[in-house]
Every structure is written in C-alpha cells, then in structure tokens.
Amino acid sequence: MSKIYSGMPATALQRVTWQKSRRSNSQGNCVEMARLPGDAVAVRNSRHPDGPALVYTRAEIEALILGAKDGDFDNLLI
C-alpha cells in the first residue's frame, strides 16, 4: 500500500475490509470504516465507494463514537 493520507481515493486502499453500520438504512445514508495498518481508520461514503477516504487515528474515532453515545452531538440533529 502506498502512502496513506486523508482525502486519498478509497480505491487506493487495497486489502482493507470496509464495514458498514448495522444501523445503515435503505436510503444509503451510511458511512463505512476500515481498519488500516498502524493506528489508523479510514472512513468513506457508502454511496460513493470510489470517492475519497478520510483517515483518522484510532483515538479520534474512539472520541467520536464515545461522544455520539454520550449524546454530545444530539443538538446537531434538530
């Protein structure tokens, strides 16, 4: 795998397994995540799998998930 960076084409991330949330819906409003080598996680839009992948550290993804579980972003949905 070549240099990994945020915004790179998701198709350039070879030999990764993309995972979609069980809460995904039929409207296609979903993101997919893939574990990358080292301490990185890639995120892509499931409706545009050939588009860019955003790359985050595991700690950044953990903070996002824990914040969502705690309701930190609930006011964004109103």
In a domain, 3, yes or no: no
pLDDT value, residue 19: 95
Computed over every residue of the chain, the mean pLDDT equals: 91
Q: What is the pLDDT of residues 18-38, one digit of tens each?
A: 999 887 777 777 899 999 999
CA torsion sign for 5, 21, 15, 11 is: negative
Give the count of domains, the chain. Answer: 1
Residue 40 lies in a domain: yes
Position 26 in a domain? yes
What stretches in the chain show pLDDT beneath 50? none
What residue numbers bound the domain in which 46 lies? Answer: 8-77
Task: Answer whether 49's CB lies under 8 Å from 60's CB.
Answer: no
Say if 23 falls within a structural domain.
yes
33 in any annotated domain:
yes
**Which residue from 39, 25, 32 is spatially nearest to 10, judged by alpha carbons?**
32
The CA distance from 36 to 10, in Å, is: 12
Strands of the chain (E only): list them.
8-9, 19-20, 31-35, 40-45, 52-57
